């Protein structure tokens, strides 16, 4: 039976890095009583944006010239959300101190996407493969 995957191994590594960043933030705050949340949130948004760009197949985006279809639309969406996430991650770094109401919304959307991908990869596809 062919193994089914919705994401590359690289994107799974990106999600693992984001989890590690979260745990670093928890350790920093609980053990050292030093708040790194601003930096951690900026970095994980930046890393997730880079991960989305890694997932983008740019040759499929070039096919938009022939029209938008089910082959190029997901990659165009990855590209746009990845660019927005990278920009949000950069501008929300503590050195820039730009606080926009859109940044929590972007974090929420990206978090929801990551949770859905993790659930599908770990339980749905694994269960489907064993049936």
Per-domain residue ranges of the chain: 9-124
Nearest to 51 by CA among 119, 117, 129: 117
pLDDT value of position 127 = 58
User: Which residue spans within 1-114 are E strands per DSSP?
Assistant: none
* Token pair listed for 128: 């489907």
pLDDT value of position 126 = 56
Query: Which range in 19-28, 54-63, 109-118 is most confidently predicted, on average pLDDT?
Result: 19-28
99: left (phi over 0), alpha (psi -120 to 50) or beta: beta
Identify whether the C-beta of residue 72 lies closer than 8 Å to the C-beta of residue 60: yes
In our burial notation (b when 16+ CB lie closer than 10 A, e otherwise), range 61-94 reads beeeeeeeeeebeebeebbebbebbbebbebbbe
Nearest to 47 by CA among 94, 93, 95: 93
Average pLDDT over residues 14-30: 87
pLDDT value of position 5 = 54
Average pLDDT over residues 59-65: 74
Identify whether the C-beta of residue 53 lies closer than 8 Å to the C-beta of residue 87: no
pLDDT value of position 94 = 84
* Residue of 114 and 6 predicted with greater confidence: 114
């Amino acid at each position: 039976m062919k193994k089914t995957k919705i994401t590359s191994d690289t994107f799974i590594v990106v999600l693992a890095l984001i989890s590690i960043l979260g745990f670093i933030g928890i350790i920093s705050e609980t053990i050292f009583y030093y708040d790194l949340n601003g930096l951690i949130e900026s970095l994980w948004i930046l890393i997730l944006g880079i991960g989305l760009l890694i997932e983008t197949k740019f040759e499929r985006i070039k096919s938009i010239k022939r029209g938008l279809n089910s082959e190029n639309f997901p990659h165009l969406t990855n590209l746009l959300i990845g660019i927005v996430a990278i920009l949000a991650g950069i501008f929300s770094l503590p050195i820039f101190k730009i606080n926009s109401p859109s940044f929590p919304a972007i974090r929420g959307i990206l978090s929801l996407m990551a949770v859905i991908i993790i659930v599908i990869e770990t339980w749905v596809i694994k269960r489907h493969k064993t049936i």
